[in-house]
Each structure stands twice: as structure tokens, then as C-alpha cells.
Amino acid sequence: EVQLMESGGGFVQPGGSLRLSCAASGLTFSSYAMNWVRQAPGKGLEWVSHISGAGGTTYYADSVKGRFTISRDNSKNTVYLQMNSLRAEDTAIYYCAKIDTTVRYFEYWGQGTLVTVSS
Amino acid sequence: QSVLTQPPSVSAAPGQKVTISCSGGSSNIGINYVSWYQQLPGTAPQLFIYDNTKRPSGIPDRFSGSKSGTSATLGITGLQTGDEADYYCGTWDNSLSAWVFGGGTKLTVL
């Protein structure tokens, strides 16, 4: 059974940094692209970032480009999201999601970790 | 403003049928597969439809998906109170090099 467990969320002031982690189990981790998707309170889903299985290809939403960095350690079955220069509008639940083999849909989702940016 | 457009809400009585539309463009739905996700209150999203029409194991056949041109539709028959949730469509956008979602549709079973 595939399991994704996010951690690292919390309260941070505007301009601060935070690193999220997503530990995966039940899969050959390096074979799959991974993504971060966020959801602001009471709002819809917003895709944040994508990283390929080997880590060589990354994509970012325009709203986070230049501030967030996605990475992965396949030896630890973990994907990270380094978030810098945080803004109030980054406040959201951040979900880790596994992409299917064909890279056509989000097959599994973690339970999410809450990031609150406020002074 | 979401790249994919969904109605904010739909409603129907138990046992009835409902459809949820998802409208996009030539760089996303027009050339890529659409997936649908159900999000129950307070929980993470769950894959419900993939590759436009396919259901993952465990998803009842009351749920169906279709796609035509730059639009996709999620259909739910035999509505149950347990189907009350937010539903999101999603796909890849080649022009944006980004995954895009619809704004979500809240289903109410009256």
C-alpha cells in the first residue's frame, strides 16, 4: 500500500523559510514523479511544483517560482519543498502527491501539512 | 482565476443523477487526459476518474467521466448522501508547463 506522509508545516512570519518533507512507502520511489499541491483555507486546489523520478526535471507554478525549490532524496524515499520568502498568501495545507507511471494524473495523496504565514 | 472552469456548486436529490462540467482550452484538456478528484470535508483529495473515463479500483460505477474537445464531464448516478463533497478536474497544460485544476464544484445531495 502506498503511503505518503508530509511533515514540516507550522507557523512562520512573512519573509521566513520552511522546509516540508514527504516520506513515501510502499512503492519504488525513484520510478515516480512527485508533486506538491496546496489548498488555502476555504479555497480550491493549487498545483505548486513537480519533480521527475530521477530529480532532473522540475516545474513550478508562477506564484512560487524563484521562492520555492523542490528536491528529492531517492535513497530516503523523500521529497522536499524548500519555501523561502514566504508570504501570507502561501498559507495553506500542502499535500504531497504521487504521479502515476504515465504522468497523467495524481494517483495518491498524503494527508497534508498546514503552513501558516502570519505576523 | 482557475485555468479550468467548473460550476461552483451543483445539487440534486438522493437517487438522482448529476453532471459536473470542466471547461478548458486547446493547450490543456484539448490535448491531454483529464482526471477527477473527490475531496470529502476535512480530508485529502482522492483520485476518482483518470484518463478521461477510467475508474480506479474501488470507485463505484455510479461515477463516470467523459471528454469532448476542450471540455470534460463527471457524471454521478444514484446519488447518495455520502457523495457530498468537492470535486476537482485536473490536467497538464502544455503552454504553461504546469498542472492545472478547476476551481472545484461542491456537490450537495438534498
Q: For B58-81, what is each residue's pLDDT tens digit?
A: 999 999 999 999 999 999 999 999
Question: Which residues in chain A are closer than 8 Å to B99, comparing Cβ atoms?
Answer: 35, 37, 47, 50, 106
Query: How far apart, in whole angstroms, are the C-alpha atoms of residue B2 and residue B100?
Result: 8
Cell of A69: 525549490
Split at pLDDT 50, 70, 90, the class of A60 is: very high
Burial class (CB in 10 A: 0-12, 13-18, 19+), A18: buried
Q: So what's the pLDDT on residue B80?
A: 96
The residue in chain B having the minimum alpha-carbon distance to the alpha carbon of residue A104 is B33
Closest by CA to A68, choosing from A106, A94, A105, A42, is A94
Beta strands A92-99 and A18-25, pairing class: unpaired
Q: How far is B44 from chain A (nearest CA, A)?
A: 5
Say which of B32, B50, B101 has its CB closest to residue A44.
B101
Q: Left, alpha or beta for A103 (phi > 0: left; psi -120 to 50: alpha)?
A: left
Q: Residue B41 has what DSSP assignment?
A: T
Query: Dihedral (C-alpha) A36, B100, A111, B49: value to the nearest 10 degrees?
Result: -130
Owner of C-alpha cell 495553506? A92
Split at pLDDT 50, 70, 90, the class of A101 is: confident
Q: Which amino acid is at A9?
A: G
Other beta carbons less than 10 A from residue A113's beta carbon: 22
Angle at A36 between CA A32 and CA A39, to 5 degrees: 145
Question: Which residues in chain A are closer than 8 Å to B41, comparing Cβ atoms?
Answer: none
- pLDDT per 10-residue tile (average), chain B, 110 residues: 94 97 97 98 96 96 97 97 97 96 96
Closest by CA to B101, choosing from A45, A95, A94, is A45
A109 shares contact with chain B (CB less than 8 Å)? yes
Split at pLDDT 50, 70, 90, the class of A103 is: confident
